[in-house]
Amino acid sequence: MSDDVQPTVAEVRAAAEAVKAALDRHLEAIENRTGEDDPAVYTAFDDLAAAAEAYDELLYDAYDEVTPFEVPSGDTLPEYAGSDEPAAISVLIRRDYSIVEPQRLLLQARRVADADSGPDTGVNAAVGILFGEYEPDEIAQRHKEFGLEEGDSTLWVSAAEPVEAGDWLAAPFDQADPQLIICRFDVSSVFDDELSALDPDN
């Protein structure tokens, strides 16, 4: 909301009432759910999240205060537009690391390269050596040994068309279409636990 237009007391109170009503609808949807993937529960969840966000914004603009709850924002993908029975899938993974102990990274790379007595290896070269030697999953499991600290990570499973081997290697991520994501799993340092998979029907 613009700094020039502050919300009124009535607007803030109306937003608070909207949160209360959304809470009631959410609980009612859960109590009357027809199955594990009941769309009414997803709809009530989204409505509650939107109401809580609107109230939080108005509360901050009017009183410089915030609410104590936060809704994980893993549902920013557009509505799924791919096939219900794709002929292939593509798995895209991103894992972020901070290099917190460069000397440990360099030492491990020299051990792998059997170059302890050779010239110093730079950080970029060390990263190339280690990722050339170990699978990404092994590096994820042993990251502390390599002087790395885990950051956020995400895994996308996307609907795809079968392709010939090598066809996409020149530009491997150009076809990452958010509308073809079947499911997504996020792990973030902001939240202690793994975020829920996005439901394409949500």
Q: CB of 139 within 8 A of CB of 184?
A: no
- For the stretch 98-128, pLDDT in tens is 999 999 999 999 999 875 445 566 899 999 9
Mean pLDDT throughout 53-65?
Answer: 89
- Which amino acid, residue 77? L
pTM of this structure: 0.54
Mean pLDDT throughout 63-84?
Answer: 73
Q: Residue 169's pLDDT is what? A: 85
- For the stretch 13-29, pLDDT in tens is 999 999 999 999 999 99
Q: Residue 72's pLDDT is what? A: 54
Q: Residue 103's pLDDT is what? A: 93
Q: Residue 197's pLDDT is what? A: 45
* Sign, CA torsion 18/39/41/189: negative
Average pLDDT over all residues of the chain: 83
Most confident among 52-66, 134-148, 186-200 (mean pLDDT): 134-148
Q: How far apart are CA 15 and CA 58, in angstroms?
A: 8
